[in-house]
């Protein structure tokens, strides 16, 4: 049996229920069903993508590409690892991953909160447009590439070319930064930044790191308009 209902919780077993059937039902949830529990995802792609209502989805295992893609309003919790493009273009709501995430986590996200309790790979937060991302571990190279707005918090280390060609996003890193990308510089961590960092860490459930130990990075705003004198930076 692919589906069972337990005390208001809709349980769907992807070992026996087609992904299409799951996503169709998540897009138009039956009245009164606010919580879903997904069993045996087994690395399936596009699980719980395109949610458009305030439902909670608990995924018991690893997921493939684009889990919770374009999520709006929903809360998706992956009790495992996630593949490429986790929560891409996130609009609102929250996506939480207990394990690690592959590349492009939170890519082009417009809003909402993404929490990765393990590590995130390359291009975490690429082209972010308002999303908040908290990574308990480290992030790979080219994270926050062309990041427009929003906040990326890295409790571990950051790889090469962090914040390359960054616009107005704010980056916070607790560990080492292997290198900054073009036009990304370290900036002063002021009280207002500590306050927003504290709030982000609290929302992500991270309570064992002192916010004042982070370093802040952002745009030098030197490449916003093309100047021939900056040609070497391009």
Partner 1 sequence: MSNGDWHPGLRESYLYDRNVIAEIQRASREGIYDIRGFGAKRRLPHFDDLLFLGASVSRYPLEGYRERCDTDVALGTRFAKNPLELKIPVTIAGMSFGALSAPAKEALGRGASEVGTATTTGDGGMTEEERTHSKTLVYQVLPSRYGLNPDDLRRADAIEIVVGQGAKPGGGGMLLGHKISDRVAAMRALPKAIDQRSACRHPDWTGPDDLEIKIHELREITDWEKPIFVKIGATRTYYDVQLAVKAGADVIVVDGMQGGTAATQDVFIEHVGIPTLPATRLAVQALQELDMHRKVQLVISGGIRTGADVAKALALGADAVSIGTAALISLGDNSPEYDDEYRKIGSASGFYDDWQAGRDPAGISTQDDELSARLDPVLGGRRIANYLRVLTLEAQTLARACGKSHVHNLEPEDLVALTVEAAAMAGVPLAGTDWIPGLRSG
Query: Which residues make Cβ contacts (< 8 Å) with residue 110, sequence separation at least 6?
Result: 89, 90, 91, 92, 129, 130, 131
By the rule CB under 8 A, 100 interacts with partner 1: no
Nearer to partner 1, 74 or 80 (CB): 74
By the rule CB under 8 A, 19 interacts with partner 1: yes
Near partner 1 by CB under 8 A, which window of 33-41, 46-54, 154-162, 193-201?
46-54
**Rounded CA gap, 59 and 52, in Å?**
17
List binders of partner 1 among 135-164 (CB under 8 A).
Answer: 145-146, 148-149
Query: Which residues make Cβ contacts (< 8 Å) with residue 62, sequence separation at least 6?
Result: 41, 42, 43, 78, 80, 81, 82, 83, 99
Compute CA 144 distance to the chain's CA centroid, rounded to the nearest angstrom: 11
**Rounded CA gap, 124 and 2, in Å?**
34
Nearer to partner 1, 45 or 79 (CB): 45
By the rule CB under 8 A, 107 interacts with partner 1: yes
Total residues at interface with partner 1 (CB under 8 A):
41
By the rule CB under 8 A, 25 interacts with partner 1: no
**Rounded CA gap, 80 and 43, in Å?**
10
- Consecutive H or E run containing 203: helix 191-204
Nearer to partner 1, 107 or 201 (CB): 107
Shortest Å distance, C-beta 19 to partner 1 = 7
Applying CB under 8 A, among 3, 34, 40, 50 the residue interacting with partner 1 is 50
**Rounded CA gap, 52 and 29, in Å?**
10
Compute CA 91 distance to the chain's CA centroid, rounded to the nearest angstrom: 11
Task: Name the residues that contact partner 1, by CB under 8 A.
Answer: 19-20, 23-24, 27, 45-46, 49-50, 52, 64-66, 69-70, 72, 84-85, 88-89, 91, 104, 107-108, 110, 123, 126-127, 129-130, 145-146, 148-149, 165, 167-168, 224-226, 228
């Amino acid at each position: 049996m692919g589906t069972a209902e337990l005390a208001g919780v809709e349980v769907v077993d992807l070992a026996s229920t087609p992904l299409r059937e799951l996503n169709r039902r998540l897009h138009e949830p039956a009245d009164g069903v606010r919580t879903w529990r997904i069993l045996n995802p087994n690395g399936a792609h596009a699980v719980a993508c395109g949610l458009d209502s305030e439902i909670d989805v608990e995924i018991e295992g690893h997921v493939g590409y684009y889990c919770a893609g374009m999520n709006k309003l929903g809360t998706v919790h992956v009790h495992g690892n996630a593949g490429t493009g986790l929560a891409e273009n996130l609009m609102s709501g929250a996506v939480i991953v207990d394990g690690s995430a592959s590349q492009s986590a939170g890519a082009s996200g417009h809003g909402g909160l993404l929490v990765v309790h393990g590590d995130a790979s390359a291009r975490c937060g690429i082209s972010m447009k308002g999303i908040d991302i908290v990574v308990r571990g480290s992030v790979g190279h080219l994270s926050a590439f062309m990041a427009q707005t929003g906040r990326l918090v890295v409790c571990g280390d950051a790889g090469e070319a962090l914040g390359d060609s960054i616009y107005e996003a704010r980056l916070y890193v607790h560990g080492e930064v292997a290198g900054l990308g073009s036009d990304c510089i370290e900036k002063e961590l002021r009280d207002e930044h500590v306050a927003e960092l504290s709030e982000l860490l609290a929302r992500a459930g991270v309570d064992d790191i002192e916010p004042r130990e982070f370093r802040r990075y952002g745009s030098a705003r030197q490449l916003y308009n093309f100047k021939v004198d900056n040609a070497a930076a391009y």
